């Protein structure tokens, strides 16, 4: 098997193969590294709905690896191939498809504000050829700060490490800042340009007197979960994150929409479109399940005693 025939563990069968001429063609586009995400949940959900790669469907998984030029090339290829549906994961992937004027039906996921980004006209009436699942509201940034303060009582100064590579991250930071004002806590921002800034960002946070940390991840950072967790631990910064895998890989806490629900509902919308529904007629859906993860091993390493009341609220406690 040639290397280019295998992306993120998914066998890619060329669309032109006669044996699969009648199979549904599904392209999954991620602006980062799909192999570093739980994308198998999406593939399993599609299979459960009858879309099995190499049998009843032709499924390809494309990752831009955080490279805008590579993303543009992938989008151009999708525009030329015209699969039956494109599943676009993360806002950069969705925006690239929108800006390229792709006419194929698109189902998106992990997009915080599709209306504000100009992807759909409204959640109830998306119009055009885009619909999908929102990831969260910016207000979740404030909720994450509150949970972090509950976990580390007495915290008065919190760092927020983030990147503007996702335009909606600015709104999340603003929500954190507003929540901090309400709690009488000082927050300060450290923006990164890329992975090369990780070490210096943590050094800046600790050197500036941070007692805890909110980390807003993006495509590239999500793939560096273990490194980020190690940096938080070595700098003795209790941290809260967006995604459960960040906690499974050593982060202290996470809070956000359930990843499994997002992937499964994305697959369900894809199924409806492949059966004849128009994206314009399918309202954009919002998360209904939210998960709080806590890593007690990390808490112990940091010398923290997580309050029992907070542990009781957790959906998953890693011991």
Q: What is the pLDDT of residues 263-296, one digit of tens each?
A: 999 999 999 999 999 999 999 999 999 999 999 9
Residue 218's pLDDT is what? 79
SS (H, E, C) the chain: CCHHHEECCEECCCCCCHHHCCCEEEEEEECCCHHHCCCHHHHHHHHHCCCCECCCEEEEEEECCCCHHHHHHHHHHHHHHCCCEEEEECHHHHHHHHHCCCCCCEEEEEECCCCCCCCCCCCCCCCCCEEEEECCCCCHHHHHHHHHHHHCCCCCEEEEEEECCCCCHHHHHHHHHHHHHHHCCEEEEEEECCHHHHHHHHHHHHHCCCCEEEECCCHHHHCCHHHHHHHHHHCCCCEEECCHHHHHCCCCEEEEECHHHHHHHHHHHHHHHHCCCCHHHCCCECCCCEEEEEEHHHHHHHCCCCCHHHHHHCCEEEC
Q: Where are the domains of the chain?
A: 3-136+259-289, 140-257+291-318
- In angstroms, the CA 65 to CA 34 distance is 8
pLDDT higher than threshold 80 for residue 41: yes
Q: How far apart are CA 49 and CA 47, in angstroms?
A: 5
Higher pLDDT among residues 11 and 23, named by residue: 23
Beta bridge partners of 318: 295
Domain 3-136+259-289: CATH class, spelled out: alpha beta
Q: Are strands 24-30 and 130-134 parallel, antiparallel or unpaired?
A: unpaired
Residue 248 has pLDDT above 80, yes or no: yes
Q: Are 120 and 114 in contact (CB under 8 A)?
A: yes
Task: Give the integer Cα–Cα distance in Å for 57 and 51.
Answer: 5
If pLDDT is split at 50, 70 and 90, which confidence band does 222 have? confident
14 — pLDDT class (breaks 50, 70, 90): very low
Question: What pLDDT score does 219 carry?
Answer: 73
pLDDT for 27 equals 98
CA 273, CA 279: separation in Å to the nearest integer? 7
CA distances from 302 to 21, 227, 296 (A): 57, 16, 10
Amino acid 223: pLDDT: 83
Q: What percent of the chain has pLDDT over 90?
A: 81
Q: Could you give the CA distance from residue 54 to residue 46 in angstroms, rounded to a whole number?
A: 13
Per-residue pLDDT at 242 exceeds 80? yes
Per-residue model confidence as pLDDT tens digits over 190-219 = 999 888 899 999 999 999 999 999 999 877
Q: Answer whether CATH 3.40.640.10 is correct for domain 140-257+291-318.
A: no
pLDDT in tens, 88-136: 999 999 999 999 999 999 999 999 889 989 999 999 999 999 999 998 7
- The backbone torsions φ and ψ at residue 285, rounded to the nearest 5 degrees and listed phi first, read -95, 155
Residues 118 and 98 sit within 8 Å (Cβ to Cβ): yes
Given a cut of 90, is residue 11 above it in pLDDT?
no
């Amino acid at each position: 098997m040639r290397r280019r025939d295998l992306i993120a563990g998914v066998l890619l069968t060329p669309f032109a193969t006669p044996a699969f001429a009648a199979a549904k063609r599904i392209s999954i586009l991620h602006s980062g590294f799909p192999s570093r995400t739980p994308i198998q949940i999406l593939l399993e959900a599609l299979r459960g709905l009858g879309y099995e790669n190499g049998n009843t469907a032709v499924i390809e998984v494309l990752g831009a690896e955080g490279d805008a030029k590579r993303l543009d090339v992938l989008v151009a290829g999708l525009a030329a191939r015209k699969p039956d549906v494109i599943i676009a994961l993360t806002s950069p992937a969705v925006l690239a498809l929108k800006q390229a004027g792709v006419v194929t039906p698109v189902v998106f996921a992990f997009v915080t504000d599709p209306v504000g980004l100009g992807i759909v006209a409204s959640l109830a009436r998306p119009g055009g050829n885009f619909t999908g699942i929102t990831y969260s509201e910016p207000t979740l940034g404030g909720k994450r700060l509150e949970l972090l303060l509950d976990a580390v009582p007495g915290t008065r100064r919190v760092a927020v490490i983030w990147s503007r590579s996702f335009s909606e991250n600015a709104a999340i930071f603003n929500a954190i800042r507003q929540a901090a004002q309400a709690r009488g806590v000082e927050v300060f921002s450290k923006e990164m340009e890329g992975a090369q800034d990780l070490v210096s960002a943590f050094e800046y946070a600790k050197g500036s007197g941070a007692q805890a940390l909110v980390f807003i991840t993006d495509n590239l950072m999500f793939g560096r979960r273990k490194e980020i967790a190690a940096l938080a631990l070595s700098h003795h910064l209790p941290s809260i994150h967006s995604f459960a895998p960040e906690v499974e890989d050593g982060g202290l806490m996470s809070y956000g929409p359930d990843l499994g629900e997002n992937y499964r509902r994305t697959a369900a919308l894809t199924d409806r479109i492949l059966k004849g529904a128009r994206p314009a007629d399918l309202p954009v859906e919002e998360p209904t399940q939210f998960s709080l993860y806590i890593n007690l091993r990390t808490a112990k390493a940091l010398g923290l005693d997580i309050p029992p009341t907070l542990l009781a609220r957790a959906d998953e406690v890693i011991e």
